[in-house]
Chain A
Amino acid sequence: MLREGKVVAKSYIARDVFEFVIAVDLKNIEIRPGQFVHVRVSESTEHVLRRPISISSVDTINHTITLVFRAGDQSSGTNKIALTAVGEHLDLLLPLGNGYKLDDVNQGDSVLIIGGGIGVPPLYELAKRLDDRGVRTTHILGFNSEKDVFYEDKFKALGETYIATADGSYGNPGFVTDVIEEIGDAFDKFYACGPKVMLKVLDETLDIDGYISLEERMGCGIGVCYACVCQSRKQGQLKICTDGPVFEKGAIIL
Chain B
Amino acid sequence: MNHKLNVSLPGLDLKNPVMPASGCFSFGQEFSKLYNLSELGAIMIKAATEEEREGNLTPRVAETSSGMLNAIGLQNPGVDHIIENELKFLNTYDVPVIANVAGTTIEDYVEVARKISASPTVKALELNISCPNVKEGGIQFGTDPKTAKELTRAVKEVSEKPVYVKLSPNVTSIVDMAKSVSEYADGLTMINTLVGMKLDSNGKPLLNNKTGGLSGPAIKPVAINMVYQVRQALPDIPIIAMGGISNVDDIIDFISVGADAVAIGTMNFTNPFICKELIELLSKKVSDMNLNHIHDIKGRAFV
How distant is the Cα of A27 from the Cα of B63 in the complex, in angstroms?
34
Contacts A46-B65, A48-B270 given: A225-B217 contact, CB under 8 Å? no
A224 & B58 in contact (Cβ 8 Å cutoff): no
CB distance from A48 to the nearest CB of B (A): 5
B75 & A77 in contact (Cβ 8 Å cutoff): no
The residue in chain A whose Cβ has the minimal distance to the Cβ of B270 is: A48
B217 & A49 in contact (Cβ 8 Å cutoff): no
Assess whether A93 is interfacial by the CB under 8 Å rule: yes
Assess whether B99 is interfacial by the CB under 8 Å rule: no
Say whether chain A's binding surface is mostly helix, strand, loop, or mixed. loop
Segment at the interface with B among A10-18, A82-90, A115-123, A214-222: A214-222
The residue in chain A whose Cβ has the minimal distance to the Cβ of B27 is: A224
How distant is the Cα of A236 from the Cα of B78 in the complex, in angstroms?
14
A45 & B58 in contact (Cβ 8 Å cutoff): no
Interface size class of B (residues with CB under 8 A): 20 to 34
Q: Which of A1, A47, A226 contacts B75 (CB 8 A)?
A: A226
A225 & B31 in contact (Cβ 8 Å cutoff): no
How distant is the Cα of A228 from the Cα of B70 in the complex, in angstroms?
11
The residue in chain A whose Cβ has the minimal distance to the Cβ of B20 is: A224
A227 & B66 in contact (Cβ 8 Å cutoff): no
Please indicate which of the listed interface residues A48, A50, A77, A93 has the most CB atoms of chain B within 10 Å of its own CB.
A48
Cβ of A46: which chain B residues have Cβ within 8 Å of it?
65-66
Assess whether B267 is interfacial by the CB under 8 Å rule: yes
Cβ of A91: which chain B residues have Cβ within 8 Å of it?
271
Cβ of B216: which chain A residues have Cβ within 8 Å of it?
45, 48
How distant is the Cα of A228 from the Cα of B66 in the complex, in angstroms?
20
B72 & A48 in contact (Cβ 8 Å cutoff): no
How distant is the Cα of A224 from the Cα of B271 in the complex, in angstroms?
13
B267 & A48 in contact (Cβ 8 Å cutoff): yes
Q: Which of A3, A77, A223 contacts B63 (CB 8 A)?
A: A77
B269 & A219 in contact (Cβ 8 Å cutoff): yes
B66 & A48 in contact (Cβ 8 Å cutoff): yes
Q: Which of B60, B246, B269 contacts A224 (CB 8 A)?
A: B269
Bitwise, B219-262 to A at CB < 8 A (1) or not (0) is: 00000000000000000000000000010000000000000000
Cβ of B66: which chain A residues have Cβ within 8 Å of it?
45-46, 48
How distant is the Cα of A124 from the Cα of B61 in the complex, in angstroms?
29
B58 & A229 in contact (Cβ 8 Å cutoff): yes
Please indicate which of the listed interface residues A221, A227, A228 has the most CB atoms of chain B within 10 Å of its own CB.
A227
How distant is the Cα of A237 from the Cα of B268 in the complex, in angstroms?
23
A220 & B272 in contact (Cβ 8 Å cutoff): yes
The residue in chain B whose Cβ has the minimal distance to the Cβ of A76 is: B63
Cβ of B270: which chain A residues have Cβ within 8 Å of it?
40, 45, 48-50
Q: Which of B34, B72, B267 contacts A225 (CB 8 A)?
A: B72
Q: Which of B31, B34, B70 contacts A219 (CB 8 A)?
A: B70
B60 & A45 in contact (Cβ 8 Å cutoff): no
CB distance from B52 to the nearest CB of A (A): 9
CB distance from B245 to the nearest CB of A (A): 10
Cβ of B6: which chain A residues have Cβ within 8 Å of it?
none
How distant is the Cα of A48 from the Cα of B216 in the complex, in angstroms?
7
How distant is the Cα of A49 from the Cα of B33 in the complex, in angstroms?
21
Cβ of A227: which chain B residues have Cβ within 8 Å of it?
58-61, 70, 72
How distant is the Cα of A45 from the Cα of B271 in the complex, in angstroms?
10
Assess whether B109 is interfacial by the CB under 8 Å rule: no
| Residues of chain A at the chain B interface (Cβ within 8 Å) | 1, 3, 40, 45-50, 77, 91, 93, 216-230, 236-237, 242
| Residues of chain B at the chain A interface (Cβ within 8 Å) | 23-26, 30-31, 33-34, 54-55, 58-63, 65-68, 70, 72, 75, 216-217, 246, 266-273
- What are 20 inter-chain pairs, A to B, with CB distance below 8 A? A1-B34, A45-B66, A47-B63, A48-B68, A48-B216, A48-B267, A48-B270, A49-B269, A216-B59, A217-B60, A217-B61, A220-B30, A224-B25, A224-B268, A225-B23, A225-B70, A226-B60, A227-B59, A229-B55, A229-B58
Besides A48-B67, A224-B31, 17 other A-B contacts (C-beta < 8 A): A1-B33, A46-B65, A48-B266, A48-B270, A49-B61, A49-B269, A93-B272, A216-B58, A219-B269, A220-B269, A223-B30, A227-B61, A227-B70, A229-B58, A229-B60, A237-B54, A242-B30
